[in-house]
Amino acid sequence: MNTIVHLWNSLPLVPQMIIKGLAVIGVMFPIGGACSLIERKVSAKMQGRPGPNRAMPFWFAWVPVLGPFLQRLGLFHLMADGAKMFFKEDSLPGHVNKFYFLLAPVVAMIPALTTVTVVPFGAYLGDGGQLVPLVLANLDVGILAVFAVSSLGVYSLILAGWASNSKYPFLGGVRASAQLISYELSMTLSVLPVFLWINAPGGTGSLSFFHVVQAQSGTGLSWDGAWFIFYMPVSAVVFLVSLFAETNRLPFDMAEGEADLVGGFHTEYGSMKWGLFFVAEYSHMMVGSGMFILLFLGGWNPLPWLPLASLVGWLHHVTGWAFTVAPVFVGVLSIAIFLGKVLGFIFGFMVVRWTVPRFRYDQVMKLGWQKLLPLAIGNLIFYALMIAAIQLNLGWPTYLALTAGAIAALAIGLIVPRRQRAL
């Protein structure tokens, strides 16, 4: 063990980074693939059918219990699908702009894989009991980097839609661009209160996700032990809705629109080029739900008011085993907690998919611009005033008055604009 650590530390920085990056991609891709299988299985269960459970290499049937189990699980459908995508004829329609047509799936993958680098997915106890984040690049601008890079994702949809040179992809591309741009605003505005809160004047400021999780890792019944979703619920809801819109998931799948646009921007794509769009979409989903968990659901902390460090300390205290505080164990534990939350969140994506009917395109725009954006702005103003009031120590009457004012404003906003039909 020590020799491995020694060998690792003696490696130059660049190979270290490359190995780390490959390791993360090596975990991301199978999980992305597994998500597509989970999606099929979960969708099937929600519709009262068993889902994929047939494919199996014939020799695998000889494995006693595991063989039939994996067959029922549909694991080989996943592999068959992947293999199919790799070996299918990669058709290139004659009427497309070849350069941009080929460029679009590549452009789709770049933001999908780049945003992963700044999302921490775990932490371990370093020397002196300090939590050290497990992240490829612990950028100080974390959230800004994610927003900046992930909004590049829309270029791939526009490129794909435009270069395909036919009407359904074109409509899909136009819709995608309008939708992603509208919801990006609400999304960004909705997370600002979180960063206002943790970067209160006087401390060192940071926009990194690690900092956000640290701000949710208080012990006891202290204020910062609660996750942000508890005292910034509106932010969380706006962020969540924007997240659905940004990842093109139902009920916001305007850009793909199987019902009305065949496949939207990827109508003309096939085989692995289509597969790349697919993987990119799932990566966006995973990064997006990872972001939501880091920002509002306490990251790798198992429960509110029970941060990772306390859990590990408690484990060490109860069992007395030395390895429970070893960096490897803590790191794996934190990754497991985080991934568990991400997978639970993706399950939530699927439940929503089979619950909420698709919006019409004008409803999507109306919801984005007329509902979420004012809500996000109002929310930002409320938290700005609240943080200022707390900083100035104005006392509870002021806080309560501010909260009452916000609720009154929300109620007026809900009741007054009754001229247009409700969404």
Q: How far apart are CA 256 and CA 265, in angstroms?
A: 6
The interface region with another protein, picked from 126-134, 170-178, 325-333, 352-360 by CB under 8 A, is: 352-360
* Closer residue to another protein, CB minimum distance, 69 or 354: 354
Burial class (CB in 10 A: 0-12, 13-18, 19+), 261: buried
CB atoms within 10 A of CB 274: 19
In Å, how far are 98, 137, 289, 325, 412 from 338, measured between CA atoms?
41, 18, 10, 18, 39
**Binding of residue 237 to another protein (CB under 8 A):** yes
The closest alpha carbon to 329, from 121, 101, 23, 124, belongs to 124
**Which of residues 95, 415, 416, 419 is near another protein by CB under 8 A?**
415
**Residue closer to another protein (CB basis): 10 or 47:** 47
Q: Could you say which of 63, 181, 351, 404 contacts another protein (CB under 8 A)?
A: 351
Task: Name, in order, each residue with C-beta under 8 angstroms of 27's C-beta and a sequence gap of 6 or more.
Answer: none
Q: Could you give the string, one character per residue 354-383, with x where binding to another protein holds by CB under 8 A and - elsewhere?
A: xxx---------------------------
Which 16-55 residues touch another protein, going by CB under 8 A? 42, 45-50, 53
Q: DSSP assignment, residue 369?
A: I
Contact 274, 85 (CB under 8 A): yes
Distance in Å, CB of 247 to another protein, minimum = 17
Near another protein by CB under 8 A: residue from 18, 61, 336, 423:
423
**Shortest separation between residue 189's beta carbon and another protein, angstroms:** 19
User: Rounded to an integer, what distance in angstroms lies between the CA atom of residue 198 and that of residue 121?
Assistant: 20
**Number of residues written out for the chain:** 423
Does residue 4 belong to the site contacting another protein (CB under 8 A)? no
Q: Which helix (H) or strand (E) holds 132?
A: strand 131-134
Among 22, 404, 407, 414, binds another protein (CB under 8 A): 414
- Our CB check for another protein shows the closer of 1 and 415 to be 415
Residues that bind another protein (CB under 8 A): 42, 45-50, 53, 237, 351-352, 354-356, 414-415, 418, 422-423
